[in-house]
Every structure is written in structure tokens, then in C-alpha cells.
A and B are shown apart, each in its own frame.
Chain A
Amino acid sequence: MDKKIARFQTMQDSCFTFIATLFPKETYQFVESQTLTDAFGQVGTHLTFKSTERELKFSFLEQAHRRFERVFLAEKSAGTTFFSRLLEATYEDEQLYIHHIVKTD
């Protein structure tokens, strides 16, 4: 259990550092973390953060090779219903690295 808690804390800290780089003028608070099994049986960890402007959600998914985790970042602006994807990242050695920016049509 201690290991799980430590892992969550590290993930949360990494997310905060990442957010501070992306949105330096905004102040975020941690809302919640959830580990959920999706409709297809895949287990993902979701961390949500909130500022006055928006909500950010990080979704972590382990990969079979275990070299890094795949991470998606999505945002929901105040007053909107759905999230928009911002970018895909990797989580490696307790650090988040941008993999690519998600460009919509």
C-alpha cells in the first residue's frame, strides 16, 4: 500500500511540474485520482487538476514493454461539457516528457 501511495504522490508531483510549465500564470489544485478499468478491460490511472480557467486530466496507461507509461493530457474549459485532447506524453523515470501535440482538424 505504501508503494502505491508513493507512486501516486510522485505522479501528482510530476503533473504539477508539467502543468506549471504549460500554464505558468494559472494556479492549479489537485482534485482527485482514480484507477479505472475501461470498457475493453484496460486499466488506466486518471489524475484531475483544476484552476479557475480549466480542468486538466492526465490519463496514465502502462505499456507491455514497461519502459515507460503512455500519458494523455486533456482539458475542459469552464462551461464546456467535453474534454479536448492537448497532447500525448510519456512517463519515464518519474518524469513526464511530451511525445506529440494533438492537432485537431
Chain B
Amino acid sequence: MADAPLFGPFSRKGSYSKVKVLDNFNADERFMRLYQETMQLPEIDELTFYRRYLSRDERILLYGTFDPELFNTLSAEGYDLYLVEPEASRLEGISSRFLHKVYALSHDVVDAVGFEAFDRLVLPGTTIARYSRGELLLFFRNIRQLLTVDGRLLVNLHNIGHLKQHVQPIASKRMNDCTLFYGQKIDGERLILNLYLKSVADEKVGYAVEYLYDPSTLFEFAKLSKYSGQILYAGKTVHILELNKLA
């Protein structure tokens, strides 16, 4: 796959005909789990944070890789959470009590609850970083139909300075019946993750691309679609930003 953003040893592996190159790492559950682990933001205790930030009087929509246990816990505590998760494999662990609040497409949520129904939209982890600049402009425009008149969007950004100093060029992890290798590289304004595994049954490489934004850039983009924003938390590894929909 000539266009796949593979580097170093991952690129070499990807050039062999017997090695399958996945253009979507979610196609392999091991890659998916490894991605979730490597992209975690350990600086934030999510449960404590969401308990402080969210209100039980509000209707909240989550989009992105949200920990199923966290979803169950907060839902059981009375938070009115809805989740849009396109990949069924990422829903393992969601309690059957709350599956009726889980959707795959935003259109289906709107069919069920109407337009402008959510007080808050939360993108966990660095979900926002999956969008390129062009996609981000569309995203900010499109989610307006989901948020109430004064709805708010919560996103997290990597602290770029810290990330540049702590990028992992190569590491490995044992998972089930195989060893996975992964590496990170900063290429301009992108963080590229490469993954490789070899098991008895298969040999694959995969990749994920995240776009690096600093808070001021994100605020500028959001402003174009009528949002104002503020930094809720400026940490060592992550910034938490809140964006308010304007009329």
C-alpha cells in the first residue's frame, strides 16, 4: 500500500507481500486494544473528572472510544449518557441495561431524540485529533445540529511540546498469542502510530494518524462555526478544552 503512512521497520514489513497492511487498525481487535492503550491519557482520572464536570440534569452525548466500564458506572449513577460508537467490537463490556443508549450513527440518535437535544457533547481521549483541518471545520459545523442552543463540547488535545519529547519510536507488547510492536513518529503536524504483529495465523501492519493542534488553533477553527472556547485544564501531557455553541 503505497500511500500508507508507514515508517522505518514497519514500512519494510509492509512491503512484503505476505504481510497484510490494514488501512483501518480497528479491523484487528489486537491493534484496536493496543491503540487504546498507547493513546490513553493517564494524567486524567476520567471517573473523577466526569463526576465533577457532568451534571445529572443534562443530556450528554459521547462520541469516540469511551471506556465501557466508565459508561456503565456513570450511567448507573444517574448521568443521562448516550454513546455513538460505530464499531461493535468496542462495545464489549457495555451493560445490557444501557445498550439502548448506544448508537452507531448520529442520524439514528436524532431520529430518537430530535435535533439540538444534547446539552453536552464529549469526545473522550484524543478523538478530536482524528480529524484533519478540513474535516474539523465540517465537524464543528455538523455537530451544531446535535447541541442545544447553549450546548457545550468537551475535547482533549495532546500537549505537543511534551509529546515531541516523549514519542516512542519502537516498543513491544505481548498480547494473547503474539507479540505486537508499535512505534510513534511526529511528521509535521501529525502523530503517526504504526503497529505490527506476527502470530501463528497472521502477520499484519496497521497505522493510525492523529493531527496535532494547539488550543489556539482549535479555538480559531471553532470560532468559524460560531463557538467560543476556554481551556479547562492545561496539564503536562494534555489540554482539556470546552467549546460553547453560540447563537
Chain A positions within 8 Å of B, measured between CB atoms, are 36, 38-42, 44, 46, 57, 59, 61, 63-66, 70, 72, 74, 76, 81-85, 88, 100, 102-105
User: In the complex, what residues of A have CB within 8 A of residue B114's CB?
Assistant: 81-82
Q: Name the 5 nearest CB pairs between A and B, nearest first.
A: A64-B26, A39-B142, A39-B106, A38-B106, A64-B27
Complex contact B112–A84 (CB within 8 A): yes
Q: Is the CB of B99 within 8 A of A102?
A: yes
A100 CB to nearest chain B CB (Å): 7
Interface residues of B (CB under 8 A from A): 24-28, 63, 84, 86-89, 96, 99-100, 103-108, 111-114, 131, 135, 138-139, 142-143, 145-146
Q: Are B108 and A39 in contact (CB under 8 A)?
A: no
Residues of B within 8 A of A105 (CB): 100
CB-based contact B131/A41 at 8 Å: yes
Partner of A74, one of B108, B131, B142: B108
Given A41-B139, A66-B27: A83 in contact with B105 (beta carbons within 8 A): no
Task: Give the CA-CA distance A39 to B118 in the complex, in Å.
Answer: 13
A103 to B63, CA, bound (A): 21
Residues of B within 8 A of A64 (CB): 24-27, 87, 89
Q: Inside 8 A of A88's CB, which chain B residues have their CB?
A: 99
Question: Is the beta-carbon distance between A72 and B103 smaller than 8 angstroms?
Answer: yes
CB of A49, distance to nearest CB on chain B (Å): 14
Q: Which of A39, A74, A82, A103 contacts B143 (CB 8 A)?
A: A39
Write the nearest CB–CB distance from B136 to chain A, whole angstroms: 10
If A57-B111, A63-B88 touch, whether A42 touches B100 (CB-CB below 8 Å) is no
8 A/B residue pairs, CB under 8 Å, sorted by A: A39-B145, A41-B135, A42-B105, A46-B107, A65-B27, A82-B112, A82-B114, A103-B100
Determine if B108 and A42 form an interchain contact, defined as CB atoms under 8 angstroms apart: no
| Interchain CB contact under 8 A, A39 and B139 | yes
Q: Chain B residues near A70 (CB, 8 Å)?
A: 86, 88, 104
Q: Are A61's CB and B104's CB within 8 A?
A: yes
Contact A42 B86 (CB under 8 A): yes
Q: A85 to B106, alpha carbons, bound, how many Å?
A: 14
Contacts A39-B146, A85-B112; A61 near B99 (Cβ below 8 A): no
Contact across chains for B105 and A61 when beta carbons are under 8 A apart: yes
B88 CB contacts on chain A under 8 angstroms: 63, 70
On chain A, the residues within 8 Å of B143 by CB distance are: 39-40
